[in-house]
Each structure stands twice: as C-alpha cells, then as structure tokens.
Structure 1
C-alpha cells in the first residue's frame, strides 16, 4: 500500500459539489458501502480529467465526526489516493474523528495514525450510530473495529 503525501500527476482534490452526488453514489454502491447519509456537502473528491476517482466524507455529530464513504475507484487503488484523502479529511476535522471499519482495513487506518478505541470510550452519538455494526460483529464474524484519528489533535474529547 502506497502512503503517498502527494497526488499522482493530473489528480486534484476538491470539495464535492451538488452535481457530484450521482458519481459519489455510484462509487459507494460499487464498493458495497453504506449508501445512507450521503450528503455531498460533507465530501471531498479526487478527480482526474473531470472524472471522480475517489471520495470520502466527514459526517457531523454532536462533538465528534465520523469518517465514512471512503472509496477509491478500483483501477486507481494502491496509489496513495485513499491515504491522501484520509489525511486531508482528518486535517479538515473540527472535532474528534472516528471510523468504523472491517478488520482488513485496520492496518490501513493505523498506519495513518488512527488508534483502536473501546466501545465504552465512544461519544454517545456514535454509540448509537455504531450499535448495529457492533451487534452484527457479535452475531457474524465481520470483525468490525472502531478507531479514532490522532487523539492528540483533540485531547479533551
């Protein structure tokens, strides 16, 4: 996995616009991610030649944010786009950032400074949001993990 600190030539990071929502939805559906709560205002996208090739969002909750809907188009994976986008979203954050992910993505997020967090230490809005994922991981072997981005950025969370 490439942990690039810059984008490949021709790629551009920008805030999403309302007309991007269709392409964002398509990327999220193709990745089989949660298609709910896709609000273009929360997204940043990476585009190349007017085509969106990656997206991710910061969902707003009371006193915390959730990184979600992070998708890189299949043909563009392993080139550092996901890492670049995660770093940018965390830099843009105005409150502690959390992510709920499947087990095989834990290493990816840990390499970017995320740390595992116990259910008991989650802010209440995310306990409610992540309840079904945690319940499902107890019933099915899904391996859902919750992580927090750089807890030193918001030490009083």
Structure 2
C-alpha cells in the first residue's frame, strides 16, 4: 500500500474512545454514509488539537472484516489522511479486509492495494451485509463495488 509515511504536523492517530462517538457520528452523517453500526470500539481516529478530523472502522464478521465509515473532514482532504488511516486499519486486521464503496472511490482503494472481487468471492457474512447495496445498484446507477485488501504482510494472529 502506498500511503504517506507520516501524518501532518500536530496530527495524532489513536484508537477511538467513548468520548469520540459524537464526533464520529457527525463526520459519518456529514459524509452521508451508513450511520448504523457505529461502535466506537471499532474505530481509529486522527485528531488535531483534540478535535477528530478523520475516522474509520474495522467491523468484525466471521472470518473476515469490513472497512467502513472512512471519513476525513473536508478542510483536511487531499493531505493523505484517508490513505494513512486505511493503511493503519488494514495493518491492524486479524482477518481478510473488504470494503463496499461507490464507483468514484474505487480508484482511491485500488491505489492503496485493494482489488475488485466478484460477488462469488465474497465471504458469506458479507454477502448478507452487502446484499442491499448490491440490489440497489441493479436499479440505480450508483456503481457500488466490492474490493478486498491485498495485504503486504500476514494478518495479525
């Protein structure tokens, strides 16, 4: 994965705390992402001057994990924070990592080492979770794509 080697000056990457849930919810709502399944325990955040400016989570499923709720505050986009956060989350994974995203984000994830996969390659727990998105994409031109992280190292045991 080709993410920045360091964060901008003053930024700190850390696990989320219960106190971060409000900021995480706000970021997710502003980005118009799925506001369900926001468990602070699954999140890592990037903060600057004690304010959360980026977040992302790894949800655990049987035999796999889903990367989700990845958001960077608008003033902080295009500075490598999202890439840094994705690389961190994937490095923390204990199982294969998948992401379901809209078409305009596919290139972002591919740049970070994710590859498109077919529905048949998706683990059953995620087929259940991603079913609605795939169904909607059949009727609306949303371009929902499923990708899998191709790790450069073995997942943590």
TM range (shorter): over 0.9
Give distance in 1, aligned partners of 2:100 and 2:52.
Answer: 24
Per the alignment, residue 17 of structure 2 pairs with: 17
8 A contact 1:95–1:154 mirrored in 2: no
| 1:46-74 C-alpha deviation (Å, 9 max, x unpaired) | 00000000000000000000000000000
Q: How do 1:1-157 residues align onto structure 2 when only pairs under 5 Å count?
A: 3-150=3-150, 153=153
Q: Is the 8 A contact 1:96 1:154 kept in 2?
A: no
Gaps of 5+ in 1: none
- Runs of 4+ more than 3 Å apart: 151-155
**Displacement of 1:5 after TM fit?**
2.2
Q: 1:121 to 1:142 in 2, by over 3 A?
A: same
* CA RMSD in angstroms, aligned pairs only: 1.5
TM-score (norm 2): 0.95
Contact 1:54/1:72 (<8 A) preserved: yes
Aligned residues: 154
CA distance in 2, matches of 1:151, 1:11: 25
Query: Structure 1 residue 6: deviation in Å?
Result: 1.1
| Whole-Å separation in 2 of the counterparts to 1:59 and 1:48 | 25
